[in-house]
Structure 1
Amino acid sequence: MSQQLKKFKQQQVRISNKRLKSDYPKELVIVAEGDSWFDYTLKKDVIDYLIKKGYAIDKYAKAGDTLENMIYGTEYRSRRDTVWHSGSLSLQRTLNSIRKHKPKIVLFSGGGNDIVGSEILGYLNHKFSNSTELINKDIFQARLKEMKRAIEFFIKSARSTAVNCNILMDGYDYAKVNGKGYSFIFRNIKGPWLLPSFGMKGITDKQDQEAIIKYFVDEFNEMLLELDAAYEHFHHIDLRGKFPNDSQWDNEIHLKNSGYREIANIYHEKIKKIQNQDPIKTFRQHLIV
């Protein structure tokens, strides 16, 4: 991370914490849980840009996090032949923040690592296995149902903790199978996630790869649309097709700064619609910078 970027991110955290500790307008207070699209260490992310706009954000996002860990918890302790589950630590931290701040807006970003992370191999049939399809749709659809239950649990938990909050969640855009990983100063730190998985399954045709990613992302977004229709205070944000060019992506599953800035603007527009006002302009005199 460059010193300039490090300074920027530290400044956003300081400003946001200062706002959270003040009598900041509730319309500008946000609690955010999620993955690397809200916590991208080597680039400016969605949360950074929303704070820059004027929001106060209590962030619990963690790069690489999964839905299962965010909602149910995956930490455990063991001794000899006995194991203890540590509980839903991540969810409880988020709910405690919602209980404390009583925000009107809760942001949630999750599911990407559950689909295009290491689990993607389980959704693919080997090219040479004589299967009629490259996607094991039974396994993927079963996993999608589990993810839907987890997100529903989050919606209900957040709403029961702060009855007036609205939950906003996007379904990502179509990831790029380009073999690029998470790198810094020409050194690969993590990934790539997609191209090696396709290679292991013998799926080398570019059109096949793109069709598979499209199916995964479309099905995930359709599931979120079902939740949007079922829960009045859950709002799906559709980003599909917003970033079609490889040049807009930092690697296979992360955007460049400009992409996250655009997504922050999209979230801001949705917040304006929900609140029936532009909270940044309405409470301009209360902004802490």
Structure 2
Amino acid sequence: MAKKQNFSKAIVVGKALAAAALKRRAEAIEKRQRVLANAKLKIDPTAKRVLAKAPVTHASMGVLIAEGDSWFDYPFHDVLSDLEDSYGFDVESAAHRGDTIEDMAYSDGQLDAFSRRVEKVLRTGVEPRAILLSGGGNDVAGDEFAILLNHAASGIAGLNESILTGVIDQRVREAYATILAAITLICKSYLGHPVPVVIHGYDYPVPDGRGFWGGGLFPGPWLEPGFRRKGYAEMSKRKQICVELIDRFDTMLAGLAGRPPFGHVKFLDLRNTLSTGATYKTWWANELHPTTKGFDAVTKKFVSMI
């Protein structure tokens, strides 16, 4: 009963946050319209000739709007860049590496940025084909990770069930319900109907201590320090725990998709897309992020669902 009540509260919070964002955006839109109405636009004749010769194409597989973390905002190559370059989609993104799902759900600025992307797409005269939402990895990895583990030398070694429940099945789940309710209301306010939403889990990582560009001054590692702190030296045991963690996270997400009021939300299962065997470094650039080859494999699954 408590879980159902919390879920309902998350929906209410999401709708309230969306309503506040829509009110701010309405004021911003009115201001923009006044500026455009009063503007006297002058175009240099030379520029007109250049523009007339420039090739223009509107060919596209559709417009996608994205909100998320580093899987959507990674240097040089990520899911979104691959969707544009390899599959012909146009992507409007409010994603930012390092963001938690709580950042996305409860920050006014995040919802404003998302709404602005929707407005930008609608001004072109088309509707978004889908909304892509990525998040949750930063809520359980990094500085937060060690607290999920009982010490390896204890009689209760492995993931701490009560803390895992609190983080994934309560905190992250409620944040997801909140942001899904918010972006659903925003899209319905602009379009009169919801837009299909794709949420995704992650693949099974290899906690080998590699951070972004080797770590050091750069972000990461995100998993190995927690394992080392709690006495887990064997890679096989570390990998087993990561499998349990990802399975738990994915089960939670899959339980949100397709159920009222989220019938328009689809869950994309990315497990076993990237190898964790002997050649895993060709698939994983570090503990949490795929290589270019890995992102290509992940993006292919996004395309199949879209």
TM-score, normalised via structure 1 length: 0.75
Of 118, 135, 142, which residue of structure 1 is paired with 2:166?
142
Show the counterpart of 1:224.
Answer: 253
Instruction: Write the distance in 1 (CA, Å) between the matches of 2:204 and 2:253.
Output: 15
Show the counterpart of 1:97.
Answer: 117
Question: Is the contact between residue 66 and residue 131 of structure 2 (CA under 8 Å) also seen in structure 1?
Answer: yes
> How far apart are 1:91 and its partner, in Å?
2.3
> How far apart are 1:205 and its partner, in Å?
2.0
Tell me if 1:244 matches 2:275: yes
Show the counterpart of 2:31.
Answer: none
Correspondences of 1:251-266 after superposition (within 5 Å): 251-266=286-301
Question: Is the contact between residue 273 and residue 298 of structure 2 (CA under 8 Å) also seen in structure 1?
Answer: no
Of 156, 164, 180, which residue of structure 1 is paired with 2:210?
180
1:26/1:167 CA distance change after superposition, 3 Å: farther
Moved over 4 A (4+): 22-27
RMSD over aligned Cα atoms:
2.1
Correspondences of 1:1-289 after superposition (within 5 Å): 28-41=62-75, 43-52=76-85, 53-73=87-107, 88-101=108-121, 102-128=127-153, 130-144=154-168, 145-162=170-187, 163-183=193-213, 189-230=218-259, 231-245=262-276, 246-247=280-281, 248-271=283-306
Structure of higher CA gyration radius = 2
Q: Output one character per residue of 1:199-245: Cα deviation in whole Å (capped at 9) or x when no partner.
A: 01111122221121111100110011111231221111101111123
Classify the secondary structure of the residue corresponding to 2:151: coil
Instruction: Write the distance in 2 (CA, Å) between the matches of 1:131 and 1:68.
Output: 33
Where structure 2 has 5 or more consecutive residues not aligned to the other structure, the ranges are 1-55, 122-126, 188-192
Amino acid paired to 2:111: L
Instruction: Write the distance in 2 (CA, Å) between the matches of 1:200 and 1:265.
Output: 37
1:222/1:208 CA distance change after superposition, 3 Å: same
> How far apart are 1:97 and its partner, in Å?
2.0
Question: Is the contact between residue 39 and residue 61 of structure 1 (CA under 8 Å) also seen in structure 2?
Answer: yes
> How far apart are 1:131 and its partner, in Å?
4.0
Question: Is the contact between residue 47 and residue 57 of structure 1 (CA under 8 Å) also seen in structure 2?
Answer: yes
Classify the secondary structure of the residue corresponding to 2:302: helix
The structure carrying a bigger strand percent of its residues is 1
Instruction: Write the distance in 1 (CA, Å) between the matches of 2:67 and 2:57.
Output: 22
Instruction: Write the distance in 1 (CA, Å) between the matches of 2:234 and 2:284.
Output: 21
TM-score, normalised via structure 2 length: 0.71
Where structure 1 has 5 or more consecutive residues not aligned to the other structure, the ranges are 1-21, 74-87, 272-289
Amino acid paired to 1:121: A
Question: Is the contact between residue 67 and residue 114 of structure 1 (CA under 8 Å) also seen in structure 2?
Answer: yes
Instruction: Write the distance in 1 (CA, Å) between the matches of 2:132 and 2:205.
Output: 21
Question: Is the contact between residue 158 and residue 165 of structure 1 (CA under 8 Å) also seen in structure 2?
Answer: no
Question: Is the contact between residue 93 and residue 117 of structure 2 (CA under 8 Å) also seen in structure 1?
Answer: no
Instruction: Write the distance in 1 (CA, Å) between the matches of 2:180 and 2:57.
Output: 26
> How far apart are 1:23 and its partner, in Å?
10
1:26/1:258 CA distance change after superposition, 3 Å: closer
Instruction: Write the distance in 2 (CA, Å) between the matches of 1:126 and 1:208.
Output: 12
Instruction: Write the distance in 1 (CA, Å) between the matches of 2:137 and 2:252.
Output: 13
1:193/1:187 CA distance change after superposition, 3 Å: closer
Identity across aligned pairs (percent)? 30
> How far apart are 1:90 and its partner, in Å?
1.2
